[in-house]
């Protein structure tokens, strides 16, 4: 048996045991896809990253797995991996870091302990099969607590964006698994991102969010960079909002802070991370 070493981080926070958990395996080229998936299932974190050896200076191939599947793109693995490489001195710091997940190259810059990447593609917005009353039923809320009509938005991973009238409504919801199967699953996008405006000033907004997905049942995520990017792109089309500070994970006891901004047609997503531990896992 061989061992593979991983680093455990909390992402979109600078406080241990907050934010979103992430495991990162460095120099993981020897692992095949099936092994990566088994390891991710064993660790059972929201996502696990397997980084290949540098393909060029400051360029690293990256694969991202949930316990159930591989993802083309995810935000907190990108921020966490970049922060870790910087912490370990594994790129020169003079030029941007480039991570290469399946969605395409993600350019990451690091400054004052914060990692910020720019999405590989702009936000794509389309109609959601959910309307306001259906979303309220799904969430166990009164109809007046859902604002407007949900949409589908994606920068590489699609989310149903559902606006709630107040931040308090985020804490009051009760998801219906039956309504999820009836309303969300047929869309092929098994992720919903709920948001409520806390405050706005000029082109900036502060929001509270929650993200739920279906993976071995309904699961909640503590911090979701890909959803935050999609939401920011959508808000920029709908209003003057071009910068967001997003608070997520509060209801889970894992508060997270995600900073986003429009970068031309693309979206930048930034945050901090902290190392929690290091371990080894046996692989064949």
Catalytic residues, by residue number, are 47
Q: E strand or H helix at 245, and its extent?
A: strand 243-248
Check if the beta carbon of residue 20 is closer than 8 Å to that of residue 247: no
Residue 279 pairs in a beta bridge with 6
Cα separations in angstroms, 236 against 106, 196, 222 = 21, 15, 24
**Residue 115 · residue 75 · CB < 8 Å:** no
CB 118 within 8 A of CB 260: no
Rg of the chain, C-alpha, whole Å: 18
Which tokens sit at 179? 């309504």
12 in Cβ contact with 272 (< 8 Å): yes
């Amino acid at each position: 048996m061989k061992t593979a070493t991983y680093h455990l981080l909390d992402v979109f926070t600078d406080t241990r045991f907050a934010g979103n958990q992430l495991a990162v395996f460095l120099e993981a080229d020897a692992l095949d896809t099936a092994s990566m998936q088994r390891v991710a299932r064993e660790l059972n974190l929201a996502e696990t990253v397997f980084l290949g050896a540098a393909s060029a200076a400051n360029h690293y191939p990256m694969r991202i797995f949930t316990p159930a599947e591989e993802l083309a793109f995810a935000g907190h693995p990108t921020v966490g991996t970049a922060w870790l490489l910087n912490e370990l001195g594994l790129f020169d710091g003079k030029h941007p870091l480039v991570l290469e997940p399946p969605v395409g190259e993600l350019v990451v810059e690091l400054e004052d302990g914060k990692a910020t990447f720019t999405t590989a593609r702009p936000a794509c917005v389309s109609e959601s099969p959910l309307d306001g009353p259906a979303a309220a039923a799904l969430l166990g809320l009164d109809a007046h607590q859902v604002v407007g009509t949900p949409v589908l938005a994606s920068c590489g991973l699609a989310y149903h964006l559902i606006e709630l009238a107040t931040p308090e409504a985020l804490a009051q919801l009760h998801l219906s698994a039956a309504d999820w199967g009836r309303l969300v699953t047929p869309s092929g996008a098994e992720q919903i991102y709920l948001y409520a405006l806390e405050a706005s000033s000029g082109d900036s907004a502060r929001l509270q969010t929650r993200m739920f997905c279906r993976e071995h049942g309904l699961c909640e995520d503590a911090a979701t960079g890909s959803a935050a990017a999609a939401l920011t792109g959508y808000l920029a089309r709908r209003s003057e909002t071009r910068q967001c500070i997003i608070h997520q994970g509060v209801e889970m006891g894992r508060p997270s802070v995600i900073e986003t901004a429009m970068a031309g047609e693309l979206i930048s997503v930034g945050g901090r991370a902290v190392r929690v531990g290091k371990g080894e896992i046996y692989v064949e």
